[in-house]
Amino acid sequence: MSSMQRAKQWATFSRIWHIYDAKWQNPFESAKLIAAYLKGQHKPIYHPLSDCGDHVVVTNCREIALPGPEWYQRVFFHHTGYPKGGATWTLAWELHRKNPTMIMQRAVHRAVGGTLLRKPLMARLHLVADAEVPAELLRHVTSQMTQLRPQPRRLDSYTEQEVRDFPKVFDYPADYVVR
């Protein structure tokens, strides 16, 4: 094998570390994409038993966004295994307040499927609540995954001049008192 072919072999079969920013993203939609990368379905050499999946580091898990009323409508079920009061139903916002990475972890756990491969795939998922990623994770990262939803901009993030110069849809009537 020539040195060029050896480089291509390494590049094809090596395990890549991707980083994904979950800020303002729906965790359940993102989980489908993350699960595909964990399994290696984005590679042409994919086979479920080939162990060709990559690592994914998910940052800003605290800043995930859910649509409309889902924060107080989505419920996470847990059973301790013990009878008489072992079952709990926790609302999404309560769970997120206690552990900000748990919703993302639960979403990927479901998206990855119920096979025996789930355990090693979940072991390759690294969740970080904030924007600061630990150095031991960040040093392996070589690729970035694009976000699914656009991040909205707050009105106070625009300068006063930008707000003033933006085209206006209507003009005030002559007798209107601006307040």
Q: How far is the CB of 74 from another protein (least distance, A)?
A: 10
Residue environment code for 59-71, b if the CB has 16+ CB neighbours within 10 A, otherwise e:
bbbbbbebeeeee
Q: How far apart are CA 4 and CA 26, in angstroms?
A: 42
- Which stretch, 29-37, 79-87, 121-129, 162-170, contacts another protein (CB under 8 A)? 162-170
Which range, of 37-45, 50-58, 65-73, 79-87, touches another protein by CB under 8 A? Answer: 65-73
Q: State yes or no: residue 150 binds another protein (CB under 8 A).
A: yes
Q: Which of 152, 155, 124 is nearest to 20 (CA)?
A: 124
Q: If DSSP codes are grouped into helix, strand and coil, which group holds residue 118? A: helix
Quick one: which segment of 7-15, 32-40, 51-59, 151-159 binds another protein (CB under 8 A)? 151-159
Any residues with CB less than 8 A from the CB of 64 and at least 6 apart, and which?
A: 22, 23, 24, 25, 26, 27, 30, 96, 103, 104
Nearest distance in Å: CB 134, another protein = 24
Task: Tell the smallest beta-carbon distance from residue 128 to another protein (Å).
Answer: 17
Amino acid, single-letter form, for residue 111 = A
CA 165, distance to chain mean position in Å, is 35
**17 vs 71, beta carbon nearer another protein:** 71
Cα 125 from Cα 57, distance rounded (Å): 6
Residues 1-60 that bind another protein (CB under 8 A): 24, 26
Residues 89-118 that bind another protein (CB under 8 A): 91-93, 96
Residues in the site for another protein, rule: CB under 8 A? 24, 26, 63-68, 71-72, 91-93, 96, 149-150, 152-156, 158, 162-163, 166-170, 172-173, 176, 179
